[in-house]
Amino acid sequence: MASPAPRILAMGGASVQPSSTDWLLHQYLLDLSGRERPRICFIGTASGDDAAYRAGFYATFARHADASYLALFDIRVDDIAGFLLDQDVIYVGGGNTANMLAIWRLHGVDKALKAAWEAGVVLGGQSAGAMCWFDAGLTDSFGPALAPPKDGLRSLPGSFCPHYDSESLRRPRYEETVGSGALPDGYAADDGVGLLFEGRDLAEVVAALPGQHAYRMERRRGNAVEETQLRARLLR
């Protein structure tokens, strides 16, 4: 059975392809369930249920877990809430955050995920699949310019910015939006980094490779911003 402790692993960026260097991060996510072979469901709404993304997930995870997929563009599940509550881990993929949240709300997935989280199912995801749990984030959902929407699921307080080391515009734009008050204080993460939250509190930062970090971003007087690097435990 899943642990009753509400936990979310928010990853700055990660690949589910078998050749990826991110497997240690994904193994950490599976281990949070406390089961030798956990049940894990992948939700790829943000990518439009992309078939290649789904195939990569199965190729990587089916060897280590009982893997399943929740499709929302070709729905085959009658009871979404019951299906998600029956998982040990739920993994949300990257893509268009705004579109994903709109579709989730249309089908009640937002409420089902909240119920699963409160019941102890481990939630996780990368990029859009990490940003969605927070109050707000920095997304390219509306075009090349990074925008600060504030309609996240609000399971976690504040804002989140993924891909902090791999997309050059992320850091200056996040500093700008937090400094102006357009986004609340929050966290940023490099690719390959996961922030584990227990309840609504940060419990641990982990990294798949050396030199990858997470950051706490806080607004100070005026438009000043303080960026604090958070030490990550290197996974082995």
* Cα distance between residue 200 and residue 181, in whole Å: 21
Answer yes or no: 163 catalytic: yes
The alpha carbon dihedral of 108, 110, 114, 120 has a sign of positive
The residue from 33, 68, 163, 213 that is catalytic is 163
Answer yes or no: 20 catalytic: no
The residue from 127, 141, 155, 159 that is catalytic is 127
Alpha carbons within 13 angstroms on the beta-carbon side of residue 138 total: 29
Strands 89-92 and 225-230: unpaired
SS3 53: helix
Cα–Cα nearest to 197, from 4, 9, 24, 3: 9
* Cα distance between residue 150 and residue 44, in whole Å: 21
Active-site residues, by number, are 127, 163
